[in-house]
Structure 1
Amino acid sequence: MAGSWSRAGKAVPIRVCLTRGSHSVPKLEYDAVVIGAGHNGLVAAAYLQKAGVNTAVLERRHVIGGAAVTEEIIPGFKFSRASYLLSLLRPHIYQDLELKRHGLKVYLRNPHAFTPLLEEGQPPRSLLLGRDMSENQRQISKFSEKDAQIYPAYQAYMERLASAIEPLLDAPPVNIPGVTTGSLRKRVAALRTLKPLLQTGIKLGKHIPEFYELLTSPTTKILDRWFESEPLKATLATDAVIGAMISPSSPGSGYVLLHHVMGEVEGKKGEWGYAEGGMGGVSNSIANAARSHGAAIFTEKTVKQILVGEDRRARGVALEDGTEIRSKLVLSNATPHVTFRHLTPQDCLPPEFIKAVSQIDYASPVTKINIAVDRLPIFLAAPNSPDGNPGPHHQCSIHLNCESMDVLDQAYRQATEGRPSTRPMLEVCIPSVLDPTLAPPGCHVLSVFSQFTPYWLQGGRAWEQKDRDSYADTVFEWIERYAPGFKQSVVGKEVLTPPDLERIFGLTGGNIFHGAMSLDQLYLARPLPSFSDYRSPIRGLYLCGSGAHPGGGVMGSAGWNAALAALADHR
């Protein structure tokens, strides 16, 4: 994104070029073409090429990574411009593709969550959560002794449910049409797709009712049953609404909570970390693995249309410059909307399929703000040490405006009325505290994941620059209340509203998950009922992005599962 920032009246151009792809000319024929070099597309390409399928990845931007990208948007400051934390990447992908050998280095965070309060006390109270359970209990006891005692049981409860659904992540959903129709041989083959579901059921055992309740309930119902402390509940509730246009009071928000606690990093369950060099480091390592097997990756190659033969089979893609690249398989890392409404010839798709695709919910509450600062923020609730070195709380996800779940509910309600929240929920991360490659000495990069902001403003009005600036001012004012002096430390900023996230990264509606993670858009219904196995009405055309099962986050599962489906058909 071109532009500039200024300080003391001096304009400085923004430079963008970190995660490199390839500018060479693609061949005119491959076995498989992957549209989009997001992390899922790269995972799919790596597995296809590893299996001997000659594969090319075509990326419209000048950098690879999709939303998992690093860009130097302010000179000297490198940002994870969209996604910003790593945890959900599936362990078998990490191991299979030897991502560590291919350059991925992760800085683990401990502690992992910091919630300062605005109150009259000197200093105000705060909540700091990490790996040490006894320290967690001590922190929680500042607000409730009862909550401190029960917190280990809550953690065990969530970990048990998250562990149980792991088999569902690494396999396609149950093949319902195959199980219910066709020849006996096909039915027997389709029955194998029941195995992950049965494994999950066995692991859940007597806890199946609890799992069902978590899937369908509002987060408020779950957390109110466990805890009485509002700061603790609000801190935990952020995982239930992050990236979703829902409030903690919305039915089904419990699943989003579970989705964000089922990750691990380097064998450590529940951990979140910063990839060295930003999230582009994740995408680069996957790309390096794909290239090591012979995959070709090209940037600045915009796909205009998927080529479909008279037999309704994918035959390759046509680029914006008119070049046609033939292939037997086409995998799209784009959203279902982009794939089936913009890239696929509409006369090749059934009208009912087109209508269903048009009804997928892409509502997004997220405005991402990337900020360069010349010093660390000093929080009233945790003053910096005299030596100026970062404190443990600086490496966390810093939760602001999380005093209570009512604050989160109110922020959500304002966005549903077309108004950016006047007291937004803010998740602030400072990855440069652990990764010194991101900023000049003494300086830092801040990632602010803010909610709630609508795609359209009141009256159906589009965002203008004055609206972005006004919202950024609101966010900065709130950070200033928790950390006085913050505004004076700002060197430059970038504000990415939902329409900006859509325009730059191809995220329909600005939705980071390629579609809402609501119960009607999960598992057998992701992206649509009868099309949850990565295949489409066009033979040889597959969906490999987060719009397919199991959904969003930097997981790689959709890419892995789609590659397996394509390989099975190719053979």
Structure 2
Amino acid sequence: MAATVWSGCSQKTRFIVGTWLRPIHSSALKSEYDAVIIGGAYLQKGGLKTAVLERRHVLGGAAVSEEIFPGFRFSRASYLLSLLRPHIYQNLELKKHGLKVYTRDPHAFTPMREDLGGRKPPRSLLLGSDMAKNQQEIGKFSERDAKAFPDYVTHLEKLACAVQPLLDAPPVDIPGITQGSLRKRITALKSLKPLIKFGLKLGKNAPDFYELITSPSIKVLNRWFESEPLRATLATDSVIGANISPSHLGSGYVLLHHVMGEVEQERGAWGYVEGGMGGVSQAIASSARSLGADIFTEQAVLIEVGQVLIGPDRSTIGVVLKDGTEVRSKVVLSNATPHVTFKELTPQDALPQKFITAINHIDYTSPVTKINVAVDKLPNFLAAPNTADGKPGPHHQCSIHLNCENLDVLETAYSEGQQGHPSSRPMIEMTIPSVLDPTLAPPGCHVVSLFTQFTPYWLEGGRAWTDEDRENFANSVFDSAESYAPGFKESIVGKDILVPPDLERVFGLTGGNIFHGTMSLDQLYLARPLPSIANYCSPVKGLYMCGSGSHPGGGVMGSAGWNAAMTVLADLKRR
């Protein structure tokens, strides 16, 4: 889920932008700053005085830790770390400032739900960093797939590595190259450098890359593998957070997006942050405090931004809070979604009608319901029974894929969600971070994250979710978990259910979309969030986007903020 972290530097100015948890009111709100950041992010620098304005009582966007039930601490929205760009990690010295990540190995567990007549436990698939063990696991289902798997992993790694230069730079400056003076065009040509690097790294793999990003993931997976458990397990990465099935065009790119990251220099790995995802935010906060910033949350003062202020020359001059307080600034950066930024915070008469119409048509469709559960005992899976001492097994630290043993189950779940009915057998990614991080739950207890699909924003007939609907869907999820791990339901001592409208209400995620907008090909790179503002700017001078709604998209990645920083620095130099 989305959080923004960015930094950039020049000889005169240093910027650091990120999301963090601790509600610190570092000083009195001043009437004037050089830069104002809206929503869970901050711009810290040596040359510009910056304020961060957050409407919630915690900073961090969706990367927050919250003690929903006494003694149980949850990553309430975002729940895994991998995509955070290494150069940002190092530049902010996040380890020095307290960030600790537990690398998961193994990392994926898919139990089967099959009746073997009681002769032996159901089968399962366990994948990790040990390729020989992976092949042994896959060989239980297909020797052919076991032989092909190393080549598949290498293939995806090549494509993911080639994309890296595009993540850490703004998209190609098409207007700059095609318009203006010769000098400006020559300067704009520099924006081609990352694209050239991408092309050189891609090399002969260009056709494979093109196929992957434009194809249904199932087309690619079918060519590599024949066994259902392996194909379905890998296919989950192609639909996470996306309202598509593995048979949809573009699901291949979503698959690639989820293998781009790394943890502790292990490519494609995902890890748990100690203390929950708010630990990322705390570390960034510590880094920021070492340089100094004014940071305000709802807990400190009624701080919710009501509107961006526009001056007589049609440029940004600051923001006005909902209590009427005006805060002037040279630039305003918004970490909110494009919809919130341009439909709710920006005066409509400051925007061209054509632009407003385009904003109205950005796709925010979300299939996600996040359920956080406190349990008083470790789940006991039929496919991998707990030991007598009750200690967690290797599979407990994984992303545990439920209702994912074959592709037909995923396709049916998707189909039901499109008809206004929450999936009766939803795709579930279960994680139990307290297995590796004892700070999250009391001894013997655990926190469980259930990331589920597919649930519509509006139910059949266009009606809104009721509390009864939430309970019914949660119970269906718990029933599914019970079928794999009997006793799970009776172990539940608390639950937090966040359907798409709740994700929108609590975290400001328009439509409940965790990526600030669908990660479809028509909303990526030069078209994210719109072709006219793919460079983090807006029709209003001095108003910038720095969140996941901008290139390169969602995840606790930081690239959008980094790229926005580069854009701001360049624009300020020209002023």
Kindly provide the CA deviation profile for residues 474-510 of structure 1, in whole angstroms up to 9, marking residues without a partner as x: 0000000000000110000010000000000000000
Q: Distance in 2 between matches of 1:343 and 1:291?
A: 28
Equivalent residue in structure 1 for 2:56, among 58, 61, 86: 61
5+ residue gaps, structure 2, are 1-19
- Provide the residue aligned with 2:486 in structure 1: 484
Aligned residues: 547
Contact kept, 8 Å, 2:245 with 2:410, in 1: the verdict is: yes
SS of the counterpart of 1:462?
Answer: coil
Q: 1:32 maps to which residue?
A: 35
- RMSD in angstroms over aligned alpha carbons? 1.0
The partner residue of 1:73 within 39, 52, 68 is 68
CA shift at 1:18, angstroms? 6.8
- Tell me the residue number matched to 2:509: 507
On the 8 A contact 1:108/1:271 being kept in 2, the answer is yes
Aligned to 1:212, the other structure's residue is in SS state helix
Q: 2-side partners of 1:22 and 1:119: how far apart? A: 55
Name the residue aligned to 1:402: 404
Instruction: Check whether the contact 2:23–2:296 (CA below 8 A) recurs between aligned residues.
Output: no
Q: Give the AA of the match of 1:120.
A: D
2:217 — aligned with what?
A: 219
| Matching of residues 264-413 of structure 1 within 5 Å | 264-300=262-298, 301-413=303-415
Matched-pair contact (CA < 8 Å) for 1:19–1:71: no
User: 1:182 is aligned with what amino acid?
Assistant: G
Q: Map of 1:55-454 to 2, 5 A cutoff?
A: 55-121=50-116, 122-300=120-298, 301-454=303-456
Specify the alignment match of 1:20 in structure 2.
23
Give CA deviations for 1:93-144 in whole Å, capped at 9, x if unaligned: 0000111111111011000000000012320000000000000000000000
C-alpha contact (below 8 Å) 1:419/1:457 kept by paired residues: yes
* Aligned equivalent of 1:52: 47
- Structure 2 residue identity aligned to 1:554: V
- Could you tell me whether the CA contact under 8 Å between 1:177 and 1:530 is conserved in 2? no
| Offset from partner CA, 1:321-362 (integer Å, 9 cap, x none) | 110000001000000000000000000000000000000000
Contact 2:371 2:498 in 1 (8 A): yes
Residue type of the partner of 1:408?
A: L
* Partner in structure 1 of residue 497 of structure 2: 495
| C-alpha displacement of 1:19 | 3.5
Contact kept? 2:536, 2:544, Cα under 8 Å: yes
Match of 2:572 in 1: 570
Query: Does the residue aligned with 1:165 lie in a helix, a strand or coil?
Result: helix
The 8 Å contact of residues 371 and 446 in structure 1, kept in 2 or not, is answered as: yes
Distance (Å, rounded) in 2 between the aligned partners of 1:232 and 1:217: 19
Give, in whole Å, the separation in 2 of the partners of 1:240 and 1:250: 10
Cα distance in 1 for residues equivalent to 2:457 and 2:482: 26
> Deviation of residue 72 (structure 1)?
0.4
Runs of 4+ in 1 over 6 A off after TM superposition: none
| Counterpart-to-counterpart distance in 2, 1:565 and 1:111 | 40
* Counterpart AA for 1:181: Q
- TM value normalised by structure 1: 0.95
Q: Give the AA of the match of 2:279.
A: G
Q: Distance in 2 between matches of 1:311 and 1:250?
A: 46
Kindly provide the amino acid, as one letter, of the partner of residue 218 in structure 1: P
- Per the TM alignment, residue 293 of structure 1 is displaced from its structure 2 partner at its CA by 1.4
SS across alignment from 1:191: helix
- Partner AA of 1:373 in structure 2: V
**Aligned partner (choices 546, 552, 555) of residue 554 of structure 2:** 552
Distance 2:227 2:314 in 1: 58
Q: Which amino acid aligns with 1:364?
A: S
Match of 1:11 in 2: none
Report the equivalent of 1:538.
540
Give 1:310 deviation, angstroms.
Answer: 1.6
CA contact (8 A) 1:244 1:365 kept: yes
In structure 2, what residue type is equivalent to 1:25?
A
CA contact (8 A) 1:70 1:79 kept: yes
Deviations 1:239-267 (A, max 9, x none): 00000000001101100000000101122
Determine the C-alpha separation between the residues in 1 that align with 2:383 and 2:180.
Answer: 65
Paired with 1:294 and 1:544, the residues of 2 have a C-alpha distance of: 20
Deviation of 1:21 (Å): 3.2
State the alpha-carbon separation in 2 of the partners of residues 278 and 471 from structure 1: 25
Paired with 1:510 and 1:366, the residues of 2 have a C-alpha distance of 7
Deviates more, 1:116-125 or 1:466-475: 116-125
Q: Is the 8 A contact 2:100 2:273 kept in 1?
A: yes
**Once the two structures are superposed, what CA deviation does each residue of 1:153-201 show, in whole Å capped at 9, x if it has no partner?**
0000000000000000000000001111111111111000000011000
SS in structure 2 of the partner of residue 157 of structure 1: helix
Distance 1:52 1:525 in 2: 32
CA distance in structure 2 between the aligned counterparts of 1:18 and 1:470, rounded to whole angstroms: 32
Preserved CA contact (<8 Å) 2:21 2:285: no
TM-score by length of 2: 0.94
Amino acid at match of 1:440: P
Alpha-carbon distance between aligned partners in 2 of 1:19 and 1:116, rounded to the nearest angstrom: 38
Shift in Å at residue 66 of structure 1?
0.8
Instruction: Tell whether the 8 Å contact from 1:54 to 1:294 is kept in structure 2 after alignment.
Output: no
Cα displacement (A) at 1:23: 7.3
- Letter of the aligned partner of 1:34 in structure 2? I
Q: Could you tell me whether the CA contact under 8 Å between 2:421 and 2:459 is conserved in 1?
A: yes
Q: Which consecutive residues of structure 1, in runs of 5 or more, have no partner in the other structure? A: 1-16
Of all paired residues, the percent bearing the same amino acid is: 70
Partner of residue 7, structure 2? none
| 3-state SS of paired residue (2:329) | strand
- C-alpha separation between the residues in 1 aligned to 2:95 and 2:294? 21
Contact 1:88 1:264 in 2 (8 A): yes
Q: Partner residue of 2:8?
A: none
Task: Read off the aligned partner of 2:294 and give its amino acid letter.
Answer: A
Q: d(CA) in 1 for partners of 2:187 and 2:24?
A: 40
Distance 1:539 1:251, change over 3 A: same
One-letter identity of the residue aligned with 2:208: E
Query: What is the 5 A alignment of 1:514-525?
Result: 514-525=516-527
> How far does residue 530 in structure 1 lie from its aligned partner after superposition?
2.3
Equivalent residue for 2:476? 474
